[in-house]
Chain A
Amino acid sequence: MTGALSILAVWLGAWGLNIWLARFGTRATRFLVALIFGLTIVVLWEMIVRIYAIPPVILPPPTQIAASFAANTAILWGDFVQTIVKGALTGWLLGGAAAILTAIAIDRSPFLQRGLLPIGNFVAALPIVGIAPILVMWFGFDWQSKAAVVVVMVFFPILVNMVAGLAATDRMQRDLMATWAAPYGQSLWKLRLPAAMPFLFNGLKITTTLALIGAIVAEFFGSPTKGMGFRISTAVGRLDLPLVWAEILVAAIAGSLFYGIVALIEKKVTFWHPSQRGQRG
């Protein structure tokens, strides 16, 4: 009974604090409110697990996850390099480059665009993860097959966005380039590629998560004895849930960092776009 009361007290206390803080609406309090909410969840999680003695097989407490994270840094780093750096990042770069080149190649043919775009949009909604077993069969168990899965997964979203981006310039701007007698290459390089950047980055940001998902899920179909997907499935088999949660923590941090870095590059590249200018002013 006292346990339930103390859980309720922490929750109500944090909630009251947040309601009070939310009235100010400044930047610092907004950040603080989000932080308090996150911390409260972690504290409540710890309290509930301890007070009701929930077995760690079902839900380990955050402290145990942190301890497992600290004790297994070497394993986690190895898995990170294998899955994220070798699998996801390589595949994302290759897939992105292929999609951008394809978009530029079909840009000159409205016929191909009209044919490819509906198919691209359609494929983007399909459960592409399913090709993982096939690609693992073709490219072997190591990171190459994971990169291949990622290439296929990120290709269509980036392609669709890039094609939309290349069409983003209006008649007047293109006519202006024509009056300056700019050849195709110049008008592409100096006008249309820069104009396509906000669209391209939109696609690149969406696909960061897809890349991680593809690389991790592909490992469930076969992998060398390292990698995040391998570790998650084997640790679950041994009911070593703290290690699984530590891997999830790594995946969450890697996903946020990956997205953050792409968003940062976007800020540098498309500083002229209204959506970026607005954030500073």
Chain B
Amino acid sequence: MRNLLPILTVLLAIVAIWYVAAIGMNSTWARDQAARAETRLSAGDLVIQTLTLERPVLPAPHQVAAGLWEGIAGQKITSKRSLVWHGWITLSATLTGFAIGSLAGILLAVGIVHDRAMDQSVMPWAVASQTVPILAIAPMVIVVFASAGITGLLPKAVIAAWLSFFPVLVGMVKGLRTPDRMQLDLMRSWSASRPQMFWRLRLPSSLPYLFASLKVGIAAALVGTIVGELPAGASAGLGARLLSGSYYGQTVQIWAALFAAAALAAGLVIAVGRIEAVTLRRMGLAR
């Protein structure tokens, strides 16, 4: 809690800069309007006008907060204008994809650790694939699935799975390899079978690495889902909200969707972090 004061200070500074920037960036439009109406604006009027525009260049923080509140609490949850509804669409695809991707990553990592040929074949490509901007092909995946007649949750989940797969795979391989010679030799001297070695030594010692990469993976899965919602035709989800906001110049809507996405990402990462803390404490691994 020692960090609370500095964090609050920095946050306050950001909000202050934001207000100043909002006044600066919106002033041109406000001045134009005043010139057209042939009135002169006093400094106070200018500030008030720039902070209450309908479609500002940069909405002020309180406008975004109002947009967010309106989207979350001001609508019925089933309404198409409700951020809760859009957030749920995004969340369900993210979680489905994350579950598939991390499960596949863990299984493949187990195979890689136990089979040398698999290790040498797959690992270089798995590492190299991290340098490739996979996210950029997300819209293509959506369109290809759509041309095969599959729409909705599945195509987005595939992208999310694909993005969370590689971090989990790489982290899990690293984790399963952490037991050193001495520990492995000890297991051998107890004549432990291969499955026993896996369940009692390798798997428990890999958990800290697994959770670290799960956090990266779930953030990546969310980004993948949101980008997967961008192609025209998608009408639901936070990504679609961003896109429709940018088409119709609804800046408040964009910022509200953006903050909803940020809150969702933070919530997911914190949730994984909580599971991590509880699991590690139960297993006596907490540091």
Which residues in A have some Cβ–Cβ distance to B below 8 Å? 15, 18-19, 21-23, 25, 29-30, 33-34, 36-38, 57-59, 111-116, 118-119, 122, 125-127, 129-131, 133-134, 136-138, 208-209, 212-213, 216-217, 220-222, 228-229, 232-233, 236-237, 239, 241, 244, 248, 251-252, 255-256, 258-260
Contact = CB atoms under 8 A, between A and B. Distances in A.
12 contacts: A18-B120, A37-B121, A58-B147, A115-B5, A126-B265, A130-B226, A130-B262, A133-B242, A134-B246, A137-B57, A209-B132, A252-B133
A256 B230 contact: no
A37 B246 contact: no
A112 to B, nearest CB: 7
Contacts of B6: 111-116
B40 to A, nearest CB: 28
A218 B7 CA distance: 30
A127 B262 contact: yes
A255 B131 contact: yes
B113 to A, nearest CB: 14
Contacts of B231: 220, 233, 236
Interface stretch (B77-85, B249-257, B276-284): B249-257
Given A38-B125, A256-B128, A212 B230 contact: no
A252 B125 CA distance: 12
Contacts of A15: 117
Contact of B223 (A38, A127, A255): A127
Contacts of A228: 136
Given A112-B6, A133-B246, A216 B261 contact: no
A217 B7 contact: no
A239 B147 contact: yes
Contacts of B124: 34
Contacts of B108: none
A163 B239 CA distance: 33
Nearest to B261: A127
A112 B85 CA distance: 38
Interface in B1-53: 2-3, 5-11, 25
A60 to B, nearest CB: 11
A126 B116 contact: no
Nearest to A120: B10
Interface string B109-128: 00000001101111111001
B182 interface: no
Contacts of B243: 133, 221
Contact of A119 (B10, B139, B219, B226): B10
A209 B130 contact: yes
Contacts of A258: 131
B136 A217 contact: yes
B148 A58 contact: yes
Of the candidates B5, B57, B123, B139, the one having the most CB atoms from chain A within 10 angstroms of its own CB is B139
Given A114-B7, A208-B131, A232-B137, A138 B57 contact: yes
B169 interface: no
B140 interface: yes
Nearest to A113: B6
A22 B120 contact: yes
A33 B223 contact: no
Contacts of A23: 116
A36 B125 CA distance: 11
B242 A232 contact: no
B125 A34 contact: yes
Contacts of B132: 209, 251-252, 255-256
Given A58-B147, A133-B242, A125 B117 contact: no
